Amino acid sequence: MRIFFDLWWFFKQERMKYGFGIIFLMLSSFLSMIPPYVVGVLVDDIRTRSLTSMTLIRWILFLIIIGIIYYAFGYIWRQLIFGSSIILANQLRNSLYKHFTKLSPNFFQKRRIGDLMAHATNDINAVQNAAGEGILTLIDSITMGGMVIVTMSVLINWKLTLITLLPMPIMVLLTMHYGNLLHQRFGKAQAAFSGLNDKVQENVSGVRVIKAFGEEKAQIQLFRKASRDVVDKNIAVAKVDSLFDPTITFIVAFCYFLALIFGSVFVMQGSMTIGGLTSFTLYLGQLVWPMLAFGFLFNIVERGSASYDRIRRLLAIKPEITDQKGASEDVPSGAITYAIKEYSYPGNQAKVLSDIHITVKQGQTLGIVGKTGAGKTTMLRLLLREFDVIDGQISIGAMPIRSVTLDALRGAIGYVPQDHILFSATIAENIAFAKPDASREAIERVAKLASIHEDILHFKDGYETVVGERGVTLSGGQKQRISIARALLADPEILIFDDSLSAVDARTEVSILHALKHERINKTTLISAHRLSAVEHADQIVVLDEGKIIEHGTHEALIKKNGWYAEMYAHQQLETIVSKGGEKG
Amino acid sequence: MNEEKNTQFSGRGVMKRLLSYLKHFKWKATAAFLALIIATGADVLGPILMKIFIDDYLTPRRFPTEPLVLLGISFIGVYAVSAMFHYIQVISFQKIALNIIQMMRVQVFAKVQHLGLRFFDQTPGGSLVSRITNDTETIKDLYVTVLSTIVNSTIMMIGIFAGMFFLDVRLALICFILMPFLLLLMWAYRMLSSKVYRVTRVKLSQLNAKLNESLQGMAMIQAMRQQKRLRNEFGKINNDHKKALLKSVRLNSLMLRPAVYSVYLIGLIMILGYFGVQSFDSVVKIGVLYAFINYLDRFFDPINQIMQQLTIFQQAMVSAERVFGLLDDKRLAPVQESDANPKVSDGRIEFRDVTFSYDGKTDVLKHISFTANPGETVALVGHTGSGKSSIINLLMRFYPIHHGGIFIDGQPLTAFSDEELRKRIGLVLQDSFMFVGDVNDNIRLSHHEITDEQVQAAAEFVQADRFIKKLPGQYQEPVGERGSTFSSGQRQLLSFARTMALNPKVLVLDEATASVDTETEEAIQTALAKMRKGRTTIAIAHRLSTIQDADQILVLHRGEIVERGKHQELLQKGGLYFTMYQLQHGKGSGKAASVSP
């Protein structure tokens, strides 16, 4: 029941809805006490043949009115209680989303997206269920159950009530026991199902090996076994699940039996009428639901609690990168200075960068090259404060980047990441991602700069073409160029290209670099690349190896030095020849 | 894109096909049905016994012991029978349903095993997995909950009407008037709910898509400072979803339980009115009245249940359509085309003027001809996309060829049985796929005729036993998902052992580009050299150093063989091969050689 205290803030927030919802729910329960009573009265009148058409019509009209009010009340409390639970889910989902937007990249690296999605769907559903179904079963089992018992004892016969209800606790205990069993077995069935899923996943990813070794039949055999296991576990669930109805039927029948036997005795004694007995059995029928609800309640509450705990734990995680106290909100500007003694990723001993000391003057271009894993991307991500440097600092102008707010820092920087992330939206919307109110002219201008304009015009819907999961599939090069255009649109003082020209051909690369040069006078650009042609014209180039700067200078100087850079340059020239099938140039 | 859309199903066709699975369980279904009828019969009998008690004994206040004890025992007995047979019935139907799903799953899975690689190229893995598991799971819900509820409820309603007719034909007829109302209510609910339900589902999937996308692109959203805007966008979708849900709550509260309760009240009023009017001029049997009210009480439970299942129904039909679509897919893997059953004896491989295209538009191989004599090594070199892998794919009979032919020992590739091909041609792939299991399983796979000794011999042969013996569980060491606990070099050695355990005549190698540590690299090279000895080998080589002793080197460019010959000949020619060689070996050190084009 802790979940109801945990959700107290919400019940307070929606106190009118819950208050009235519960009142109407209780009124509905009360109204449903009336028809069995009317039946009892009429049965007695019919038996004694004292019924007149006037009374009959009066009672029938009364029932009709009860029916209409009950319908209205039933509608109202469902709206209020279930409606509120939907609002709760909505709020929780919004706050989870908001929380996600505040968390640092490290969090998203550690957690699997599938798990995070599960919190936002399954867990929220379970909490929603507790706030809707849970409240309903709680109120219903208490008020309706109580009311039926009180009505039976007060209006008809308390002794008979007591005798008849004797088997009911057995039913409650049994159904609760079934509920527990079911929960366990259901867990096993789910595990078996996810095992089956893994099996299929493995099969689909290993299809080539399976075909090459003629493993198809063996795989079918394994699958048959795995899915047989799922069936067995599900049958185990069914064996418990199917117990509910027969148990309830039998125990209720036994209650009826007791009611009839002892009821007859009371009728014989004259302390009860046959009509009263009829009403009594009808009330008995109405007692089944509150009893069941009581059993359901525990299940709903338990699941809701566990889920709410998970959600709360998630919401309690603090972002690792935050604004310092008194951080400036002015967008920083000026030369970029790296002064890093050493850096390793949080929770990891391995040094990723060490002794990085460079200054990039405003308006200059810095090229960063080196092998995969040399630390190129790390250098760039540190500038964006995706992670914080502890041993050393990076500054823009006179401001260390930690002394300005994240918002201000990112306002100064345009970023084209290695893996180009586009969102499910039109191309125009994707380009205008950082500046949603940009005019079409501005969008087209940057698209031209990024050499993607022509490609876009070739799509059926031009700039309105939807991309992303549901939209058209773009080539890697097209995605890259769209994400370049996106970064250019904001016209930031600092532009970061993290190996962002890898998927475009040499000619396009030249034209993009050329356009950048003209466009970005007095603005700083940082380019990391595998292909050296992307950094050839940079004002300075650093070569990283295992996190250290091993070479530093202009293209000409580095070629002259005849080190890694020069070797790599010659190598890539050969590569170009090979990819052209041996023709030079 | 290329899905066989021509097999459009109508809802009825899908339903018919779904039900056709029942015929495999004719007897079990009949037995379950019988149990259902017995249980329902007992249910219906209960109120009749009560009626007898009320009318024959209670009202006239006559209480002879013996008949009453008998009546009491039969009352308890009837409900005991009902409880027991209901249990049997529900379990049987569930078992049938689960077995049908099992059958369907194995069918779909087996079908997928027989589809060609073309199908796998065109179908995203995730959606395929989802069809085999999730879609069939939805169909399971259809069988387990919807169909069994409908059958159960229908039989119960029929039983109740039978009881009513037995007691009082006229009143039963009057009660029958309720049926059209109920059917109308159900029909209206189905129509309205399917629309509302669809909107809810669409909104939910939009919501999930947005969330998923945001989680994936959070770095970008933060770098571009769009958190607030995205929060608003998400909030908007979240609100739309909320509105759709509220609508469905409204619909449910208007048309489900409260509405059904109203119909119940109408029924109650009808029964009371009928007996009330009757009582004006004759004696009414209170027992009959009691039994009718009792029946009425039970009558509405099935209705409520059926109505609540209607939404699942729609979803299951969509899933069933997808599953059947997959079962009917025509993109099968190439199979043996004659029953000559030739054997691979020497291992002579011949490509004769093979031209091939994956999509039927662009040719990825053009007029490829070459011969690999028994025991020879033919190396394929060329940059990415030159067609090396396609040659291997065709030799493995992963794709059908339409122009030219491939021959093994003079017999066309299409003449061999799958078993012969898979046993005699050993493929070693670049990514060494590992199955969940242990080291033994991963070497032996499903070939039970391979003994433990042979497994170990194969591992020793490729020098994998050195690291296997250092594992805590040795050959029983568990292998996790995708073999992630092993290094890529170790995985390669294991996959070599897997191939060697079959002792193939022909070896097809796709050399790995992934860099491994020097020690493992040495082991790999030694193993490869040993494996090639005495076997015809077709090898894709990324490192030219490993194929200098090849009998023939084919240099591919854009699907054509542009140069061929031995290492030295090709070097002297000074062509593409020469440039590639320079690329890897030129400028002194090999430091840069690991960077692939």
Domains and CATH numbers, chain B: 11-327 (1.20.1560.10), 349-586 (3.40.50.300)
For chain A, the distance separating the N- and C-terminal CA atoms, rounded to the nearest angstrom, is 77
Q: How far is CA B429 from the centre of its chain?
A: 26
Where do we find the tokens 């009340």?
Answer: A73
Please write the tens of the pLDDT for every residue from A145-167.
899 999 889 888 889 999 998 88
Contacts of B86 in chain A (CB under 8 A): 242, 245-246, 249
Determine contact: A247 vs chain B, CB below 8 A.
yes
Q: Rounded to whole angstroms, what are the CA distances from A125 to A86, A130, A295, B256? A: 9, 9, 20, 21
Closest CA to B528 of B559, B514, B558, B549: B549
Closest CA to A28 of A75, A73, A83, A80: A73
For chain B, the distance separating the N- and C-terminal CA atoms, rounded to the nearest angstrom, is 31
d(CA A487, CA A485): 5
Q: Report the chain A residue with the minimal C-alpha distance to residue B255.
A: A75
d(CA A421, CA A425): 12
**Whole-number average pLDDT of chain A:** 87
**Tokens at B12, concatenated:** 């009825």
User: Which among B75, B446, B558 has CB closest to A218?
Assistant: B446
Lowest mean pLDDT among A35-49, B23-37, B62-76, B419-433: B419-433
**Helices marked H in B256-382 — which ranges?**
257-281, 286-327
| List of E strands, B324-455 | 349-357, 363-372, 377-381, 403-408, 411-412, 425-428, 437-438
Please write the tens of the pLDDT for every residue from A393-432.
899 988 899 999 998 999 899 998 887 788 888 899 999 9
Rounded average pLDDT over B336-364: 82
**Tokens at B479, concatenated:** 């292998």
Rounded average pLDDT over A500-513: 82
Measured torsion, CA atoms of residues B64, B65, B66, B71, in degrees rounded to the nearest 10: 90
Q: What is the pLDDT of residue B595?
A: 36
Task: Determine whether the interchain pair B445/A213 forms a contact, defined as Cβ–Cβ distance below 8 Å.
Answer: yes
- The answer on pLDDT for B593 being more than 60 is no
Phi, psi of A318 (to 5 degrees): -90, 140
User: CB count, 10 Å around CB of A502?
Assistant: 15
Annotate B63-104 with DSSP letters as a single string: --HHHHHHHHHHHHHHHHHHHHHHHHHHHHHHHHHHHHHHHH
- The answer on pLDDT for B246 being more than 90 is yes
Per DSSP, the three-state class of B368 is: strand
**CA of A227 vs chain B CAs: smallest distance (Å):** 6
Per DSSP, the three-state class of A392 is: strand
User: Which among B99, B242, B495 has CB closest to A86?
Assistant: B242
Determine contact: A60 vs chain B, CB below 8 A.
yes
Contacts of A255 in chain B (CB under 8 A): none
User: Which among B114, B249, B579 has CB closest to A82?
Assistant: B249
DSSP A474: -
Determine contact: A423 vs chain B, CB below 8 A.
yes
- The answer on pLDDT for B1 being more than 50 is no
**Tokens at B460, concatenated:** 């020793």
The structural domains of chain A, ordered by start, are 2-316 (1.20.1560.10), 336-579 (3.40.50.300)
Task: Determine whether the interchain pair A578/B580 forms a contact, defined as Cβ–Cβ distance below 8 Å.
Answer: yes
Annotate A106-123 with DSSP letters as a single string: HHHHHS-HHHHHHIIIII
Closest CA to B244 of A89, A16, A14: A89
User: Which among B216, B250, B253 has CB closest to A74?
Assistant: B253
Bigger pLDDT: A341 or B567? A341
Q: What is the pLDDT of residue A228?
A: 92
- The answer on pLDDT for B66 being more than 60 is yes
Task: Determine whether the interchain pair A578/B221 forms a contact, defined as Cβ–Cβ distance below 8 Å.
Answer: no
DSSP A130: I
Closest CA to A380 of A189, A40, A105: A105
Task: Determine whether the interchain pair A94/B238 forms a contact, defined as Cβ–Cβ distance below 8 Å.
Answer: yes
Q: In degrees, to the nearest 5, what angle opens at C-alpha B310 toward C-alphas B308 and B315? A: 125
User: CB count, 10 Å around CB of A505?
Assistant: 9
Residues whose CB is less than 8 angstroms from the CB of residue A557 and which lie 6 or more positions away in sequence, other chains included: none
pTM of the shown model: 0.79
- The answer on pLDDT for B75 being more than 50 is yes
Q: What is the pLDDT of residue A130?
A: 92
Q: What is the ipTM of this complex?
A: 0.86
Closest CA to A53 of A63, A42, A44: A42
Report residue B8's pLDDT band, with 50, 70 and 90 as the boundaries: very low
Q: What is the pLDDT of residue B513?
A: 57
**Tokens at A383, concatenated:** 């500038």
Report residue A199's pLDDT band, with 50, 70 and 90 as the boundaries: confident
Task: Determine whether the interchain pair B280/A51 forms a contact, defined as Cβ–Cβ distance below 8 Å.
Answer: yes
d(CA A57, CA A34): 16
d(CA A155, CA A540): 96
d(CA B399, CA B358): 8
Residue B79, burial from CB neighbour count under 10 angstroms (0-12, 13-18, 19+)? buried
Where do we find the tokens 């050393």?
Answer: A392
Task: Determine whether the interchain pair A577/B579 forms a contact, defined as Cβ–Cβ distance below 8 Å.
Answer: yes
Determine contact: A530 vs chain B, CB below 8 A.
yes
Q: Report the chain A residue with the minimal C-alpha distance to residue B562.
A: A581
Q: Report the chain B residue with the minimal C-alpha distance to residue A72.
A: B258
- The answer on pLDDT for B214 being more than 60 is yes
User: CB count, 10 Å around CB of B548?
Assistant: 14
Q: What is the pLDDT of residue B11?
A: 65
Report residue B517's pLDDT band, with 50, 70 and 90 as the boundaries: low
Task: Determine whether the interchain pair B293/A386 forms a contact, defined as Cβ–Cβ distance below 8 Å.
Answer: no
Phi-psi map region of A551: left, alpha, beta (phi>0 left; psi -120 to 50 alpha): beta
Closest CA to B252 of A86, A16, A145: A86
Q: What is the pLDDT of residue A211?
A: 82
- The answer on pLDDT for B585 being more than 90 is no
Task: Determine whether the interchain pair A47/B286 forms a contact, defined as Cβ–Cβ distance below 8 Å.
Answer: yes
DSSP A272: S
d(CA B554, CA B539): 10
Rounded average pLDDT over A121-145: 90
Report residue B4's pLDDT band, with 50, 70 and 90 as the boundaries: very low
Q: What is the pLDDT of residue A290?
A: 86
User: Which among A46, A230, A423 has CB closest to B213?
Assistant: A423
d(CA B147, CA B169): 30
Q: Return contacts of A176-180, CB within 8 angstroms, 24+ apart.
A: A176/A295, A176/A298, A178/A240, A178/A241, A178/A243, A178/A244, A178/A247, A179/A295, A179/A296, A179/A298, A179/A299
**CA of B11 vs chain A CAs: smallest distance (Å):** 26
**Whole-number average pLDDT of chain B:** 83
Per DSSP, the three-state class of B348 is: coil
Task: Determine whether the interchain pair A206/B433 forms a contact, defined as Cβ–Cβ distance below 8 Å.
Answer: yes
- The answer on pLDDT for A584 being more than 60 is no
Please write the tens of the pLDDT for every residue from A59-79.
999 999 999 999 999 999 999
User: Which among B94, B223, B429 has CB closest to A235?
Assistant: B94
Question: b/e string for B290-325 if b means 16 or more Cβ within 10 A?
Answer: bbbbbbbbbbbebbebbbbbbbbbbbbbebbbbbbb
Q: In degrees, to the nearest 5, what angle opens at C-alpha A38 toward C-alphas B287 and B158? A: 50
Task: Determine whether the interchain pair A238/B580 forms a contact, defined as Cβ–Cβ distance below 8 Å.
Answer: no
% of chain A exceeding 90 in pLDDT: 34
Contacts of A564 in chain B (CB under 8 A): 591-592
Q: Report the chain B residue with the minimal C-alpha distance to residue A371.
A: B595
Bigger pLDDT: A83 or A530? A83
Q: How far is CA B21 from the centre of its chain?
A: 18
Per DSSP, the three-state class of B565 is: strand
Closest CA to B358 of B384, B383, B393: B393
Lowest mean pLDDT among A471-480, B8-17, B118-127, B250-259: B8-17
What helix, strand, coil percent values describe chain A, rounded to 5? 65, 10, 25
Bigger pLDDT: A538 or B341? A538
Report residue A525's pLDDT band, with 50, 70 and 90 as the boundaries: very high
Annotate B197-222 with DSSP letters as a single string: HHHHHHHHHHHHHHHHHHHHTHHHHH
d(CA B496, CA B494): 5
Report residue B34's pLDDT band, with 50, 70 and 90 as the boundaries: very high
Interface test with A, best of B115, B579, B596 (most A CBs within 10 A): B579
**CA of A342 vs chain B CAs: smallest distance (Å):** 24
Q: How far is CA B379 from the centre of its chain?
A: 39
Measured torsion, CA atoms of residues B255, B260, B262, B264, in degrees rounded to the nearest 10: 170
Closest CA to B218 of A111, A221, A268: A111
User: Which among B53, B114, B215 has CB closest to A216?
Assistant: B114
Please write the tens of the pLDDT for every residue from B522-566.
777 788 888 888 888 888 877 777 777 888 888 888 888 888 888
Query: What is chain A's alpha carbon radius of gyration, rounded to the nearest angstrom?
Result: 36
Q: What is the pLDDT of residue B247?
A: 92
d(CA B584, CA A571): 8
Give me the residues of A, 467-486, that contact B with CB < 8 A.
468-470, 486
Task: Determine whether the interchain pair B109/A574 forms a contact, defined as Cβ–Cβ distance below 8 Å.
Answer: no
Q: State the angle between helix axes of B286-327 and B26-52 in degrees (0 to 180), rounded to the nearest 10.
A: 160
Q: How far is CA A172 from the centre of its chain?
A: 36
Contacts of B277 in chain A (CB under 8 A): 53, 56
Contacts of B429 in chain A (CB under 8 A): 208-209, 212
User: CB count, 10 Å around CB of A572?
Assistant: 18
- The answer on pLDDT for A82 being more than 90 is yes
